[in-house]
Amino acid sequence: MFDLILRNCSFPDGRSGLDIGIADGRILAVEAALPGAAGEVIDAAGQLVTPPFVDAHFHMDATLSYGLPRVNQSGTLLEGIALWGELKPMLTQEALVERALAYCDWAVAKGLLAIRSHVDVCDPRLQAVEALLHVKEQVRPWLDLQLVAFPQDGVLRAPGALANLTRALDMGVDVVGGIPHFERTMADGAESVRILCELAAERGLPVDMHCDESDDPLSRHIETLAFHTQRLGLGGRVAGSHLTSMHSMDNYYVSKLLPLIVEAGVAAIANPLINITLQGRHDTYPKRRGMTRVPELLAAGVPVAFGHDCVMDPWYSLGSGDMLEVAAMGLHVAQMTSQDGMRACFKAVTETPAQILGLEGYGLAPGCRADLVLLQARDPIEALRLRATRLLVLKAGKVVARSPAAVATLNLPGRPGQIDFARRSS
Ligand code: FE2
C-alpha cells in the first residue's frame, strides 16, 4: 500500500513511462505500471520528475534587502561589500528572519528544497548567525538549510573575525568559509586559507571558501586551497566558490592548476548570474565574462555546481530563487550548448550540489526521500529552455507547492487557440 503513486513520469536520465510509489515520505518503488493500491494517484502525463533543485551558494542574510540603504551604483563586488557594511548596523533580527523566510517561500515554490547559505560572521553580535540558525530550524520540515561561517570582511583583515567565526561554529553553523582574495595581501590570503582549513580539520567540518572572486589573474588562492585540502586529507568536503580569476589566468598555469584541484578532491561552485554582472567592470572592450572555466573543470573531473549567490541584495537587484534561470545563464556564459553540455548544466543545479552538500537520500531510486518536483517539460533540456513551471513540489511525499501550467491562448485566424511551447529537445 502506497501513500501516493506518481504515474507516467519521465526521468532526467532519459527513462520514461515510470511510476513512483511513495510511502512514509520515501520512494518505495520505481517501475512501469506499478501495481498496488494508493491513497492518492497523480498522473504526471509523461512530464519530467526530478529530485529538487539545490543551491550550493547563497547569502540568505542579505537577501531581499535591495535598496537598503541605497542601490549599488558602480555594480561592482567591492561597492556591494561596502554597501553591505553600511546596512549591517541597521539590521534587526526580526527583519533578517522575515526576509529569509520570505525567500524560503519563493524557493519552495520553485522546487528549491536545499540551500547552502553563507552567513556573515564579522558583526560581533552575530545577529545574522542567530537569525539564520532560527530560520534553519523553522524551515527544516520543508527545506534543508546549511550554513557557512563567512568572514565577509576577511578573517585576518577584520578585527575579531576569527574569534567570531569560531563562536558561530560553536553555535551550530555547519561549514567553514573564507575570503582569501579580500585579505590585505596575497600572503595573508594564503595564511587565511591555512588557518581555516586547519580549523575545519580539527572540527571535522566541510570547507566552502569564496575564492579568487576577482578579475586579477594573479589571484591564485585556489592553488593554496587545493594544497591544504590535500595536506590535511580534507578531499571530498572542500569547495572553492566563484574561482573567477581562473577565467583571466594564463592557459599554461591553468593546465598545471586543474590536475592539482582534481588530485586534492576540491569541488567548484560557479555563480553565473552574479559574476556575469559583477566581474569585468573595469574592462573596456573586449569585456571578460565573469565566470570560472566550467567546461574545462568538468572535463578534468571536478564536480561543478552552479549557485544563485544573491537575490535582490547589495550585489544583485534581480532573481526569484529559480535555479533553472541560474543554470540557463551558466549554459550561455560557458557556451555549453551541446546536448551533453546542457544536461551537465541541469546536473549543476540538482545532483552535483546535492553531492557537495552531502544530502542524505537525494535522488529518484527506491529508498530515497520522496522530495520531488514535477516540471512542465519532458526532459532537462526543455526544462532549461522554458525555465519550466514547477507544476508540483513534493516534500517527503506531500505536495508543498503547486503552480498552474504556463499556456497562452492565441486569438489568430486558423491557428490553434492554446499553445504551451513544447517541442522535442533531444
Ligand atoms: Fe557569494
| Structure confidence at residue 356 (pLDDT) | 98
HSE at residue 119, side-chain half, CA atoms within 13 A, is 36
Mean pLDDT of 45-56: 98
Mean pLDDT of 64-68: 95
| Structure confidence at residue 423 (pLDDT) | 86
Taking all residues of the chain, what is their mean pLDDT, rounded to a whole number? 97
pLDDT digits (tens, 9 = 90+) for 304-350: 999 999 999 999 999 999 999 999 999 999 999 999 999 999 999 99
pLDDT confidence bin for 37, thresholds 50/70/90: confident
How far CA 18 is from CA of 9, 21, 203, in Å, comes to: 5, 10, 43
Cell readout for 270 is: 560557479
| Structure confidence at residue 276 (pLDDT) | 96
Mean pLDDT of 144-161: 97
Clarify whether 213 is annotated catalytic. Answer: yes
| Structure confidence at residue 416 (pLDDT) | 82
185 Cα: distance to centroid of ligand 1 (angstroms) = 20
Cell readout for 208 is: 566552502
Which domains occur in the chain, in start order?
2-51+363-409 (2.30.40.10), 53-357 (3.20.20.140)
284 Cα: distance to centroid of ligand 1 (angstroms) = 25
Q: Are 53 and 350 in contact (CB under 8 A)?
A: yes
| Structure confidence at residue 36 (pLDDT) | 81
Taking Cα atoms as reference points, which of 244, 240, 275 lies closest to residue 261? Answer: 240
Work out whether strand 144-150 and strand 112-120 pair parallel, antiparallel, or are unpaired: parallel
d(CA 381, CA 341): 10
| Structure confidence at residue 345 (pLDDT) | 98
Mean pLDDT of 85-106: 95
Residues of the chain above pLDDT 90, percent? 95
Q: What is the dihedral of CA 45, 51, 53, 57, to 10 degrees?
A: -170
| Structure confidence at residue 392 (pLDDT) | 98
Taking Cα atoms as reference points, which of 259, 256, 192, 255 lies closest to residue 228? Answer: 192
253 Cα: distance to centroid of ligand 1 (angstroms) = 25
- Grid cell 540557463 in the structure block, residue: 328
> In the predicted model, is pLDDT for residue 426 greater than 80?
no
Comparing 77 with 94, the larger pLDDT belongs to 94
Mean pLDDT of 234-251: 98
pLDDT digits (tens, 9 = 90+) for 199-209: 999 999 999 99
Q: Are 6 and 18 in contact (CB under 8 A)?
A: no
pLDDT digits (tens, 9 = 90+) for 97-117: 999 999 999 999 999 999 999
> In the predicted model, is pLDDT for residue 298 greater than 80?
yes
pTM (2 d.p.): 0.97
pLDDT digits (tens, 9 = 90+) for 165-181: 999 999 999 999 999 99
402 Cα: distance to centroid of ligand 1 (angstroms) = 30
pLDDT digits (tens, 9 = 90+) for 211-235: 999 999 999 999 999 999 999 999 9
| Structure confidence at residue 424 (pLDDT) | 79
How far CA 360 is from CA of 73, 78, 351, 369, 388, in Å, comes to: 42, 37, 12, 8, 26
Active-site residue among 94, 137, 213, 263? 213
